[in-house]
Structure 1
């Protein structure tokens, strides 16, 4: 059996053969390479071979940083693969550590590589030697004791500070992973972890910035973001949160400039990229939205909402096959994520596959747990109308979906998409007037008077769904340019000199509007 001793050095040319590796402990978990398993206080997890190879390689490095080139040599045997392959493997390693309750994490060293942090490697070596009946040489222990004495005498305060900062870095990374993991209550768990980091050092602006991102209350969001900016005026998450809170107080160009300013300073800001993705889609800039979404996927490859949008992007650009692949795989990975479920439902429904959508709607095992009856009933009515196309079913769908549209922004958005797909454009525009302009018969009820489920989020009242295949007929209608004029979109397009992509313009004519 191959074994790495405490004096071993990293051989970047040696491929890891999982079947020949002994089981070993690291931190509070045990790794069983031959079975591709990890076991810890929170349970066991199994990974794909390449993922486990990356985990073993990082463990072999004992806290040293492995560059992407190192990982390519060790785990891909020097083959050339894209950055996405390494990003996905590291993300999967982090999911394994999260699932097993590991007390350490994989830390990203910007522009350098990755390492395992917060592990007492000397204790690991001693513990491993004692478990196998070996002894650590007396000379090594004496040398280690002398070094420790020098550290205490020469700079214990500095060591304590550095250790605290390492722990804060670990907590922030853990909170970031929790936030983007798609697990139930991931946001709440991330909030707890970010608060732990702040308790260790209230002067860490990045901890305050991340806390602002996950807080559910706008007032608390603003206070945390302002605290971060007082410490560091360039903190990207806090700047993005403040920009988001000011979104409807400024015009669209100021909102966009604020986000682009964040990305100019922090190109990998996942939060800013996420907002840019939605904004460009809502302005009909589908290609730019696609590029922004692919950028954020490189930063957070296993964040479910990014993958849900990737499926929708494939659909928008006419690639239904790839849209299905991404949506189906995402549903396997995150069976209870609302964004994934909604994307799968919408693509089924508006590619004339109502029976598949109905089956998904009736599958309680994957249906979001907080989906209320009005949402279920309106989906049922719309899908039955798509399936049969009878006048009676369509009339019933229009009646039910119009009634529920006032309960939540997302239900209004669903009604507009379903009505457009069914050719009921008068009904679609009535709901759009109520949703976007607060007039007509389908005005949104005040907050707290409707329902509270996945369709209650205020972002559903944006216009991103107006530039997708489901609303082709809506955009072709002569009323569409006037609606865009009233919403301020035309003013934005004129000011920027950038109009919606030609294939989603519908009745929009830049020559007449510009």
Structure 2
């Protein structure tokens, strides 16, 4: 039935203006510049993607009213059919954008309805034009109510559809909250995110994306594979589940298959942060530092406040010779995520192996910033390492060297640290003994599988992979003539030859391909 009213979708589409034509306006403590794709707040300014700015403008134009997901699609996606994840990502990115400039404006989720902008007493005040009159506002609200009534007047079938959408919205919100939580670091974030994903699954067991996210946050546990398999049974293309299965098969498949699998995932799902992060680690471990940097920046674009991505960014600046930027990122990361193991380790490494052992020692002694489960053997090994670096010009004591070598047999991460330290201070025979034990299980300095292991942050196998081999601390190791033989035993030479891509020239050392 048409009673002469303009359909709601047409009204929304007609009110949308190109961003370039929109005047600057204020919303709460934000100055929004649509034509510049930027916002300014108490903490600075930031640029956003056009779609994200369109969502912000639409919510501000609603003057505190609620916009449903359908309304946002009409205004910001021009009615295009996109997945629910598109709206979730845009809203999440908008929230991160506002937080990055210190804004107090809040994008609120109204369960089973949509989203609204909460900005105190001030919403969408143009810096050049007057606010819409009360009459115009009432007219707009009336159109929204009429459109809403029309949606509810479609009978029993429409009611069922509405209920389905309401349930879907609840599940979407749980998944989005878990996704953001797992990407922000801090104590128990993975466990808390897992609880949200389990709630989503309980509400809708058929959601492949919920199962995929649950697999991602439980990776490395015995349950992750089962969660991923459940996701893939529902949707064979689910990206997180595919990434989990690839990681769990690492070293069961050959490295080229592993690489191709991860690249295929990010080709199909460019915002799969788990796959991006694994490519970052893989390329760094293969000496492809430039490619590793590129994919880490892509991961940061997806999850800008993920401590692991930012810790790796600080390391990349060190690898590429920009110590000032390395310090800037590392110090800020320590402020944001104190006691986060990967952040703390990156800061320790970049202080210790840039000839600043005393600064690293201060950090080691700061219990408020030190990871809580750091074991006595690990602390002792770090102390010996820092003392050996301080004494390296005069010659490190044999006792400090012995402590590093002994602890190297207790956990992969401490073996990696020992190799970097021994290479850095020029004790290459000892460095190769530890490297042979860690990477090829040969010689006498091999990893102990039982007994007094240092079961702390360095116990996981990922710490002992070859990412550390291609950092500046291991330059002496790479320049030694034994490096080619070591790379042949680890399988790196075969990978480089089959792929036709060697390590970057500035980290190639004595390798000749």
TM-score w.r.t. the length of structure 2 is: 0.78
Q: 1:318 to 1:230 in 2, by over 3 A?
A: same
Looking at structure 2, the residues matched to 256 and 422 of structure 1 have their Cα atoms a distance apart, in angstroms, of: 34
Map 1:97-136 to 2 at 5 A.
104=108
Which region of structure 1 is more displaced relative to structure 2, 141-150 or 413-422?
Answer: 141-150
Contact 1:409 1:461 in 2 (8 A): yes
Contact 1:51 1:89 in 2 (8 A): no
- TM-superposition CA deviations, 1:451-485 (whole Å, max 9, x none): 22211121012101000100000111111111110
Q: Give 1:363 shift.
A: 1.3
Looking at structure 1, the residues matched to 267 and 451 of structure 2 have their Cα atoms a distance apart, in angstroms, of: 38
Superposed CA RMSD in Å reads 3.9
2:188 alignment partner in structure 1: 185
Unmatched runs of 5 consecutive residues or more in structure 2: 1-10, 31-39, 78-90, 123-136
Q: Please point out which of 216, 226, 239 is paired with 1:236.
A: 239
Looking at structure 1, the residues matched to 401 and 176 of structure 2 have their Cα atoms a distance apart, in angstroms, of: 47
1:483 alignment partner in structure 2: 486
Looking at structure 2, the residues matched to 472 and 122 of structure 1 have their Cα atoms a distance apart, in angstroms, of: 54
Contact 1:118 1:170 in 2 (8 A): no
Q: Please point out which of 294, 297, 306 is paired with 1:291.
A: 294
Which region of structure 1 is more displaced relative to structure 2, 266-275 or 150-159?
Answer: 150-159
Are 1:170 and 2:168 an aligned pair?
A: no
1:161 alignment partner in structure 2: 164
Q: Please point out which of 17, 34, 47 is paired with 2:26.
A: 17
1:27 alignment partner in structure 2: none
Are 1:65 and 2:68 an aligned pair?
A: no
Q: 1:89 to 1:414 in 2, by over 3 A?
A: farther
- TM-superposition CA deviations, 1:428-470 (whole Å, max 9, x none): 1111122112232222122785122211121012101000100
Which region of structure 1 is more displaced relative to structure 2, 163-172 or 475-484?
Answer: 163-172
Contact 1:104 1:117 in 2 (8 A): no
Q: Please point out which of 264, 277, 282 is paired with 2:267.
A: 264
Unmatched runs of 5 consecutive residues or more in structure 1: 1-6, 22-33, 37-45, 71-85, 106-115, 129-134
Q: Give 1:396 shift.
A: 2.5
Map 1:46-61 to 2 at 5 A.
59-60=59-60, 61=62
Q: 1:152 to 1:120 in 2, by over 3 A?
A: farther
Q: Please point out which of 441, 444, 449 is paired with 2:447.
A: 444
User: SS where residue 335 of structure 1 aligns?
Assistant: coil
Q: Give 1:422 shift.
A: 0.7
- TM-superposition CA deviations, 1:215-253 (whole Å, max 9, x none): 155431111111111111111111111111111111111
- TM-superposition CA deviations, 1:303-339 (whole Å, max 9, x none): 1111111111111111111111111121122122111
1:386 alignment partner in structure 2: 389
Q: Give 1:90 shift.
A: 3.8
User: SS where residue 17 of structure 1 aligns?
Assistant: strand
Q: Please point out which of 91, 96, 102 is paired with 1:91.
A: 96
Contact 1:51 1:90 in 2 (8 A): no
Contact 1:103 1:118 in 2 (8 A): no
Q: Give 1:141 shift.
A: 11
- TM-superposition CA deviations, 1:257-290 (whole Å, max 9, x none): 1111212211221111110110011011111111
Looking at structure 1, the residues matched to 154 and 402 of structure 2 have their Cα atoms a distance apart, in angstroms, of: 76
1:347 alignment partner in structure 2: 350
TM-score w.r.t. the length of structure 1 is: 0.78
Are 1:150 and 2:150 an aligned pair?
A: no
Contact 2:112 2:165 in 1 (8 A): no
Q: 1:92 to 1:146 in 2, by over 3 A?
A: closer
Q: May I ask how many residue pairs the two structures share in their alignment?
A: 452
Contact 1:418 1:470 in 2 (8 A): yes
User: SS where residue 306 of structure 1 aligns?
Assistant: helix
Are 1:280 and 2:283 an aligned pair?
A: yes
